[in-house]
Each structure stands twice: as C-alpha cells, then as structure tokens.
Structure 1
Amino acid sequence: MNHQNLSSFIWSVADLLRGDYKQSDYGKVILPFTVLRRLDCVLEPTKAKVLAEFAAKKKAGLNPDPFLLRASGQSFYNTSDLDLRKLMGDQDHISQNLYAYVQAFSPAVRDIFERFSFSTQIDKLAKSGLLYLVTEKFAGIDLHPEAVDNHEMGLAFEELIRKFAELSNETAGEHFTPREVIRLMVNLLFVEDDEVLTKPGVVRTIYDPTAGTGGMLSVAGEHLAALNPQARLTMFGQELNDESYAICKADMLIKGQDVANIVAGNTLSEDGHARAKFDYMLSNPPFGVEWKKVEKEVRKEHQTQGFNGRFGPGLPSVSDGSLLFLLHLLSKMRPASDGGSRFGIVLNGSPLFTGGAGSGASEIRRHLLENDLVEAIIGLPTDMFYNTGISTYVWIVSNRKPTQRKGKVQLIDASSFWQKMRKSLGSKRREMSESHIADVTKLFGSFVEAQLATVFDAGGTEVGQEIVLAASGPSSVPKDGIVKLAPLSRIFPNDAFGYRAITVERPQRDEKSEVVLGSKGKQKGKPQADSALRDTENVPLSEEVESYFRREVLPHAPDAWIDEEKTKIGYEIPFNQYFYVFEPPRPLAEIDAELAQVAARIKAMIEGLAA
C-alpha cells in the first residue's frame, strides 16, 4: 500500500467523525490513533518477550527500562498485555482499557499522547458512541513495518499533517511552513555540499529550534535520502506548542528517529539542547512576535554571559524576537575547525534594516557581517504563508563559506517567482513551482550576478521571461519588441552594508550672532554646540568621513564640525533598494492626448443621454 492510499484509508475515519467533530478537529483523533496503531504493529513481534522480561525484572526488583528497550529492539516499549485487536473483545470497557494500554508505553511515547490530550479525545469519543468504531477501524489497518516501511509511513503521516494544517489554516502559519519554502531552504542548505553528502555512510545532524510539526526536518531527511540513500541525517528539534510538539515527536518516532532529540519548551528561555552543536539548521520563527514573556531570562543571559551565551552581540526590540532565534542558531554552529555549519532561517523584512547604529538589531547585523557569516539573503514572493501576506526573506548563514564567497553577500530577489494557487489557504494565495525553486537554487549555487529579462512584443504584450547573466540580454526578441531588465542576483562586499553614523554640530550664537564659547574645563574656549541645530549623517564605511564631510556638509554649513565621541558604526541591508528599477513617466504630451480622448468620449456619452 503506497502512502497516498494509506493516508486516504486513514482519512476515511473522518466519515465516522463528521457531525460530532469540526473538520479542523479531525486531526486530534486521527493523528494519535495513527501513531498508536503504528506503534502497536511495530511492537507486536517482541510483545511476548517484553512482557516476560517485565515480569522477571519486576520480580527481581530491578529497573526494567534498559532491559525492556533491549527486548523490544526499539527506542520504546509497552508493558500491557493488551493491543488494539484485543481491545475489540471487550466493548463495554474499551475506554478504560484503551487508556490503560496507552499508559503502559515507555515515558517518551506516553509524553506524545499526553501532549495530544489523547485521554480527552477518548472521553469525547466514548460519550459520542464512536470510540469502539474508531478503534475498530484503526485495528483493521495493517501498519506493520513489513507492509509499510518507515519511509512510506513517514510520507503518509506527513500527508495527514498537511491535510489537517490546511483544514485549520487560521492557525497553520504558526506551526506549518509551506512545503515549497522548505524545499527551497533545504536545497540552498545542501547545494554546496552535494559532493560530501553523496559519500557512502555519511552521517550529519540537523536542528530546528522552532520545529512545529517537524516539516523542515522531514523534508531535509527526504532530500538527503534521495541524494544518498546510505546517508543518515540525525534530527533534533524543540517546539513550544504542545500539539505541534506531539505531532513532530510522533513523526520522528514513525521515521525511526530518536524521539529524545525532540524537546518541548520555549527555545529562548530554556534551551533544550544546551551546549549541542549541529551541521545544519533550519528555522521559521514567528514573525513580529514580542518576547516580553521571556525578557527576564534573555536579558539575564545577555548581561551575565555575554558572548559566552547566545545573545552576546545584542538584543533586538522587544516587539520582534525573530533575531533572537538567529542568535540562538549562531550559538549552535560547529566551530569552523570542526567542519563548521550552515543554517537557513525565514525572517520578515524588519531584521534587515530596523534599528539605528548602536542598536541591538544593528549590532547583530554587524556581528554577522564583520565575521563574514552571511552567504545569501533571498527575497520571497508575498502571500506565501498561511497567516501573513508580508514580504519574507530566507537568510543563509555559514561559518564555512567556499573561497569564492568569502567577504561577500549574495542578494537574490525571487519575489516574482510565483504562480497563483488554485485555492487560497488563509493568507496563502501564491506558491513557488519546482522550476522557480530550481532557478533560485541555481543562482545561489552558481554565485553569479544575473538579471530577469522580460520580453514584450511590438504591441506591448509580455511574451516571456528569461534569466540572463549581468550585462547580457535574452536569447531572442520579437521584431519591434522590447526588453525590460531587472536585477535578480547581486553580490556585494560585506562592508557595503556598513556605515558610520556621525553627529554634526553647529555652534550656539548670542543675540549678536557671535559664537558662544565654553568657559570651563575641556570646553573652555571651544564653540558650544546648539542642540537645536544638531544633525546626523550616515557615511558608508567604504568612504572617508572627512572627504564626505567636506563634500556634503561644509558647503551648506561652513561652521559645522563632527563630534567624534558620538560616532557609531551601524549596518543595515536595504534589500529592495538594490533591486529598484526606475521607470521614467510617460511624456506629458502623451498623457494629455490620452486624457483629451477620454474627455471627448465622456462628453459624447453625456450628449447621447441628453438627446
């Protein structure tokens, strides 16, 4: 049975739930029951051995846990003599027996069902008279590993997760990242390492601090499996939301991953993988969400541990904590001497430019760029996520840049790489096709500057688009047609985003317009600054401050000077500015002629009505 048929079969349980459950709540029943049946089938061959071992060790007064794990041959076990099929034999007590069966699982699995609030669903199904029918339906599904291997089971479970996320799209964006965005990020993460990842028996680790339902980890695993079936990707994650955590942990369990690597809790206030380092990382943290709830813990770590902790470079505004997740990922990078790391993170636009020189956000950008950690930033189309239509950006960060990338940052504007969805899901109305993903991956992997050439025919109708290298043109243009070129991929030195914020002072003047001089201390005999005339200027790092000052300030204010003590270094990345293409307005004569034609038509219509 392939995963589509399997998930359709499991989905048929929804017919039983219709009426008693809202569509958006089907997953609260179907997902935990799917996990339960899979575990039921996986443990069946060693059931008798585990029960015998449990009885023997209990009688001997020993801790049975390590012995039961060995006996089950899995990373979990169950000490009940019941299973789903045996539960069918006692319809009157199915509720109590099912609850007892779940409680007999090892702690890591029991935790999954507790986070699913499975006991609440058992009670609700029992009151609705559906518990026996639903349990019977799942007991009849063959999910033994011989019939459905881990890969197929994982794909089926992923499909179910997707369906339920779409049904509850009002909250899906919080816990569910569109699959095409994940595929793009995974491509960008692995494209420079294809040679290493295709070696036999390669083992790598991947981590998601905002794991949601585990989609990023799953897609990364599928990608590497397709690239090299002998490779192993060990997955780690942390998730705050209980239900998403349960789904993620269940998904990892079904795929044969160690569920101890998936931790519950708030990543910012309680790092579930303290001191751990990873090869690859992915994250889609919440956009524009304040971090006031964890402010005390975060500020304490920043102040007491500095760069020995996670938040040494600085703290962003309390109104948006997304850069805190970026700092957290930085702290999880392997040292370059141990092979280094690469990670991808989805952020909204504000981390690119908010905060002036010296602010926490600017200092974080400064740390990233001065340490040559940013490989690329890719602008995505709007309306790509379920709960927001805003512009989003994928940052690719690495401490093991290839030689050609050192000291440089690549910006790719993929905002036009989208196709309309057949059916909108919440705020998500657009998606990236496989060809769009391939184009962005190629631009990143090739590390070239490129333009998007849009070709129009003689009548002004768009007839095609083509990606061309910078300073090149499209392969063909219709007769009398035109081509519009827009930058698509640009490469900058790191210091192109840096500037010195200088404070320009002008002197106070008395009623006679004479400069007021200081009379005490260090200011004695020096012109006194007039705060009302104070101004600031941002001077690019690539330019000498003095030459800028002489050119831009002194011609307009000959009495001005720079207060050197107030000079600060800042960094910002005005992404859209680098891709703006100025289009001159049409000639006024042409516009006037068009208006005259419209006015004439309106006049004729009015005269016709009056006749």
Structure 2
Amino acid sequence: MAKKFQLTQQKLERHLFRSADILRGNVEPANYKNYILPLLFFKRINDVYEEECEKIKKKYGEKLVDDPDFHTFQMPQEYRWKNIRNQTENVGEILNKAFEELTEANPQKLRGVFRAFGVDWNDKEVLPNRVLNNLIEHFSKYDLGNGNVSPDMLGSAYEYLIKQFTREAPKELGEFYTPREIIKIIVRILNPEENSSVYDPTCGPGGMLTKSLSYIRRKGGDPRKLFLYGQDINRTIWAMAKTNLLLHGFADARIERGDTLHNPRFKENGGLKTFDYVMANFPFSMSDWGKEDLKDDPYHRFKYGLPPKSYGDFAFIEHMIVSLNEKGKMGVVIAHGPLFRNTEKKIRRKIIEEGNDIIEAIIGLPENLFYNNSIPCALLIINKNKPKEKQGKVQFIYAAKQFLHKSGIKIYKELSNQNRLTEEGIKKIVDTFRNFKDEERHSRVVSIDEIRENDYNLNIALYVDTTEPEEPIEVPKELKKLGKLQEERNQLENKLNRHIKELDYERRKD
C-alpha cells in the first residue's frame, strides 16, 4: 500500500524525477516526459478517487461510493491503480486499455490527452515488463491524494519535472519552456485580479497560466475566480498544459490545440474573444509564419501592417493586441530585433501613432536565460488603459547587466551554462516599472516625441545609457602618480646615459 504521510515539496520532486532513472537507457531523454507525466497524472486521478470514496463511505455509506456526482473524475473499477500494480504480464497492454477507458469515462476533461503523449505502453522493445513494473512500483510508493499532496504542491512538482526534462534535452524542449523567473516578472507587472480572464496564445506547458493562479493566491485572493485560456500548436505540449492545469486543481481552464495565427480557437460574435490579460512567449522571428494565407485575415488583426514573410514576431504581437479588451494589459517575451529592424518600422510607427498610446514599457533582460538559445530577450508591456501620468510616454528599462550601476543590485547569477534571474533582480525590475522614474543606466521615461525623432526605433540603447561607466578620476591623486612616473623615467634616462658614455669610452680605448 502507498505510504500516507505529508511529503515535503523537495522530497516529492526528488521522488518523481527519480522515475527518469528507471527509463534511462530504454528511452531518449527528450521522451521521458511522454512516459512519466501521463503515469503521474493517472496515479493522481486514482488516488484522489480512492480518497473521495473513503469520504463518501463515511458520510453516506457504500451505496453512493461510485456516484459520479461525488467525484472529480470517473475511475473504471477494472483499471484502478491497485489492479494494474498486481499485474505481472502484459502490463503495457492493460495500461493502454486503462488510458482509453479513463478517457471514455471523462471525455470532456481528457479527450485526446493521453493519446497526445504518443506512447504505446505495450511496446516491449522500449519498455520490457520489468522496466514498466519498476516504473509502476516507483509511483506506488506514495499516496498522491489531496490529503497527502495538495494541488499546489503537485502542480509545482509537475512544473519542476518539466524544467528537469528541459535541462536533460534542451534542444528538443527548450523552445517550449519559459524560465519561471521571466514569467514572474510578467505576472507581477500585469497584476491579474480575481474575476478576470488570462489568455496565452502560445501557452506551452501552461506556466504563465499556473503562475497567474499562484499570484492570485499569494495576494490572498481566490484563484478559482480566474478564467484561464490557452492554445498551443504542438500536440504533446498541449497535453502537458492540460494536465498541468488539472494537477493544479483547475479543471475549468480552457486549453485548446491548434495554430493560433491560422486557426485561433477563442472566438465570439464573429471576431476574436477578448481578455483582461494576455501574456506569451511566442517563437522568436518565425521565418515562415504563413503571410500569404493571412493577407485577408478574417479577424482583422493586422491593421498596423502585415509583418514581413521572414519575421513573424509582429504577427503574434498584433494577434495579442486584438485579443485585449478595452482595458486589457499584455506582457510578451520578444527578441530585440522587432524593436529596431527596418522591415517592421511601419508597423511600429502605426502602433505608436494610431494605437491610442498603448505601449507602456520595454524591458531589456540578460542573455543566456533560456535553455535552447543564449540571445538576450526583452519584454514588451502594452496597456490599453494607461494611467494618466504614463500617457504620451514609454518607459525603457535596461536590466541586462549582472549588477546595476547605481544600486549594485544583482540582477542574475551565473550557473554552469546558463544565467538565472535572482529574486532581488526580479523585484527591482518590477519596482522600477511601478515607480515609473528615471534611474541612471537602468530606467528612463521617454516621450512619444523623442521616439518620433528616433524614427520609431525602440532599441533600448537609444534611450538608456547601456555603456560601461568610466571610473571617476581623482586629479590630485593621478597627478601625484604622474609625477612619480616622471621621476622614475628621469632616473632611467640618467642610468641609460651613463651606460652609453661608458660604452663610448670603451670603444675609443680599443
């Protein structure tokens, strides 16, 4: 029987990630997630169901134990965890069937989810019975019901696994993973509130959505009063986002699969649905985003201009702007190119001149924050309801150096092959945004007129001095040094002259 006692977060995470050791050698690191995540999800559903059964039995007796109205998920009797654990032969075949039956019993919540991970559990060349039995036995060690592991705790552990899998296979998974430190900055700046909607059009495993939930909870609010929406084109990543939100205890989140640019899934009244908060980390500078097919966009997203074929950045940005309601806020991770490339100058000009003053801030972050590339990124903050004191202005924040010039605050720490934003650095960036003040070599509030004078170039270095400061010169001290050097030079010259005279004397003597 699974152990039932309160696990610590660290112990739970360590236990779950050790399951990768069982797969090592049989499964490629990039595919660990496809085996471990659905099995973890299945175990959680089972343990919560068993927990609910015990509560129902105590309160109402045996008769209502399997009543669907009392359960979060329906769990087919034949395919409960304890029955699968008791199997020694054809475990994979039974597990395949278990996922099918579980999906059929919960179609609204689970349709397509287990299948999206693309695993044939009965493929004995990859997973011999011995390996699969070891994996099931490993997950059987602890009870993963709510009484032992809270949704927050398990959700955090799930995201820890995603991070670890990304570290194991950065090339394959890095593009889908946004460092949680970057997400923290976006969420804190946007400051989502209860009874509001949050949308991520390229949601990956759902990190921005789950961090929004955590943020509401930390503020003392009720995260159940947040309405979450996400879309992702990748089938497996979509399934990861679905399970992530479900493990966080958020079954009402709408996570859809599809191409956001060509097949946006959230629509209303013939146009795109609008939201209070939109946040994303879309693919940087997508080289072929399908411009030809969107020249006559039915959702009228490109009123500021159709982006160039070879750079899709503003296709996503314009989609996000249209997805904001009349008071909406938006935070998006971008490469620096869209801020200054000449090919997108007309779009920048139109957003600035015809966009009703929506650009609130541009924040430059350090290089090497991501697992799959080392280029520095920036955050673009858009607000359709800018406070009066910010109207007609844009704040540029430079936070790419390890230490800030004036305060000495450490923005990031260097790891073996990556940089990571510090909590102190995150707080400083958010505070700088909120204070809306100039700070030497860190922040500057710029008028729209100055941006016009710079021909709508939004390169941070045009507005904030990003050069290394020169050390101040103490004139008396330096003059003293110069005098000393001059004295040493005179002594050396005198010595050299003596040697020359001696050499000349010797030559004459000969």
Q: For the superposition of Structure 1 and Structure 2, which TM-score range results when normalised by the shorter chain?
A: 0.7 to 0.9
Post-superposition Cα deviations, 1:182-214, rounded to whole Å, max 9, x if no partner, equal: 111112111xx7xxx4xxxx3222111111111
1:319 aligns with one of 310, 316, 319:
310
Q: Secondary structure at the match of 2:112?
A: helix
Work out the CA distance in 1 between the residues paired with 2:302 and 2:429: 31
Question: Structure 2: which 5+ runs fail to align?
Answer: 1-6, 57-65, 403-410, 474-481, 493-510
How far apart, CA to CA, are the structure 1 residues paired with 2:52 and 2:124?
30
Query: Is the 8 Å Cα contact of residues 345 and 456 (structure 2) preserved in structure 1?
Result: no
What is the CA-CA distance between 1:45 and the residue it aligns to?
Answer: 5.1
Does residue 1:434 correspond to 2:423, yes or no?
yes
> Equivalent of 2:226, from 216, 226, 233?
233
Q: Does 1:249 align with 2:255?
A: no
- The whole-number CA distance in structure 1 between the counterparts of 2:371 and 2:344 is 34
Q: Distance in 1 between matches of 2:33 and 2:148?
A: 24
Question: Residue 211 of structure 1: which of 196, 200, 203 is its match?
Answer: 203
Match of 2:45 in 1: 39
Report if the CA contact (8 A) 2:96-2:121 is conserved.
no
The equivalent residue for 1:22 is: 28
Deviation track 1:563-605 (CA, whole Å, cap 9, x = no partner) reads: xxxxxxx63323212223677999xxx9xx99xx9xx9xxxxx
User: After superposition, what is the alpha-carbon deviation per residue over 1:397-444, rounded to whole angstroms, capped at 9, x for unaligned?
Assistant: 0111112112211111111144342321xxxx2222111111111111
* Cα pair 2:30 2:172 within 8 Å, conserved: no
Q: Which of 6, 18, 27 matches 2:12?
A: 6
Change (3 A) 1:435 1:48: closer
Letter in 2 for 1:134: L
1:497 aligns with 2:451: yes
1:300 aligns with 2:296: yes
CA distance in 1 between counterparts of 2:185 and 2:344 reads 33
Structure 1 residues 393 and 121: alpha-carbon distance in aligned structure 2, compared to 1, 3 A threshold: farther
Please, what is the CA RMSD of the aligned residues? 3.2
TM-score calculated relative to the size of structure 2: 0.80
Alpha carbons 1:316, 1:361 under 8 Å: kept: no
How does 1:5-404 map onto structure 2 within 5 Å? 5-44=11-50, 71=69, 73-74=71-72, 76-79=73-76, 81-104=78-101, 105=103, 106-107=106-107, 108-119=109-120, 123-127=124-128, 129-190=130-191, 197=193, 202-231=194-223, 232-258=225-251, 261-274=254-267, 275-292=272-289, 294-301=290-297, 305=298, 309-335=300-326, 340-355=327-342, 359-360=346-347, 362-368=349-355, 371-404=356-389
Distance 2:293 2:374 in 1: 32
The answer on whether the counterparts of 2:30 and 2:165 sit within 8 Å (CA) in structure 1 is yes
Distance (Å, rounded) in 2 between the aligned partners of 1:286 and 1:263: 18
Cα drift, residue 269 of structure 1: 0.6
- C-alpha displacement at 1:49, in angstroms? 13
Question: Which whole-Å CA distance do the structure 2 matches of 1:186 and 1:69 have between them?
Answer: 39
* Equivalent in the alignment of 1:576: 461
1:377 is displaced (CA, Å) by: 0.5
Aligned to 2:399: 414
Shift of 1:298: 2.0
Tell me, in whole angstroms, the C-alpha distance in 2 between the residues paired with 1:406 and 1:364.
Answer: 14
Does the Cα contact within 8 Å between 2:333 and 2:378 map onto a contact in 1? Answer: yes
**Cα shift readout 1:94-121 (whole Å, capped 9, x = no counterpart):** 2222111110122342411111113257
Q: Equivalent residue of 1:498, what SS?
A: helix
Q: Within 2, Cα distance between the matches of 1:80 and 1:129? A: 25
Check the 8 A contact 2:91/2:129 in 1, yes or no. no
Residue matched to 2:434: 445
Deviations 1:207-230 (A, max 9, x none): 111111111212222122111243
CA–CA distance in structure 2, aligned partners of residues 177 and 221 of structure 1: 17
- For 1:229 and 1:319, the matched residues in 2 are separated by 43
| Residues in 1 aligned to 2:177 and 2:345: alpha-carbon distance in whole angstroms | 35
Identity of aligned residues (%): 26
Give, in whole Å, the separation in 2 of the partners of 1:159 and 1:36.
18
Aligned mates of 1:142, 1:319 — CA distance in 2:
51
Counterpart Cα distance in 2 of 1:98 and 1:437 = 44
Aligned residue identity for 2:334: L
TM-score (norm 1): 0.67
Aligned-pair distance for 1:134? 1.5
Query: Contact 2:414–2:420 (CA<8 Å) still a contact in 1?
Result: yes
Is the contact made by 1:376 and 1:412 (CA closer than 8 Å) also made in structure 2?
yes
Task: Decide which moves more: 36-45 or 405-414.
Answer: 36-45
CA contact (8 A) 1:356 1:362 kept: no
Query: What displacement does 1:248 show?
Result: 1.0
Contact 1:153 1:254 in 2 (8 A): yes
1:122/1:341 CA distance change after superposition, 3 Å: farther
How far did residue 144 of structure 1 move? 0.9
Q: How many angstroms does 1:365 deviate by?
A: 4.9
Q: Secondary structure at the match of 1:142?
A: coil
- Cα distance, 1:47 vs structure 2: 7.1
Q: 1:448 to 1:35 in 2, by over 3 A?
A: same
Residues 245 and 253, structure 2, Cα contact 8 Å, conserved in 1: no
In the alignment, structure 1 segments of 5+ residues that lack a partner are: 51-67, 452-486, 500-539, 541-569, 601-611
Q: Which residue of 1 aligns with 2:478?
A: none
Change (3 A) 1:164 1:491: same
| Structure 1 residues 121 and 377: alpha-carbon distance in aligned structure 2, compared to 1, 3 A threshold | farther
Letter in 1 for 2:463: Y
Q: CA deviation at 1:280?
A: 1.3
Work out the CA distance in 1 between the residues paired with 2:439 and 2:253: 45
| Cα distance between partner residues in 1 of 2:215 and 2:122 | 35
Local SS of the residue matching 1:579: coil
* CA distance, structure 1, for counterparts of residue 167 and residue 456 of structure 2: 39
Change (3 A) 1:122 1:259: farther
Q: CA deviation at 1:81?
A: 2.9
From the superposition, tell whether residues 154 and 245 of structure 1 become closer, same or farther in structure 2 (CA, over 3 Å): same
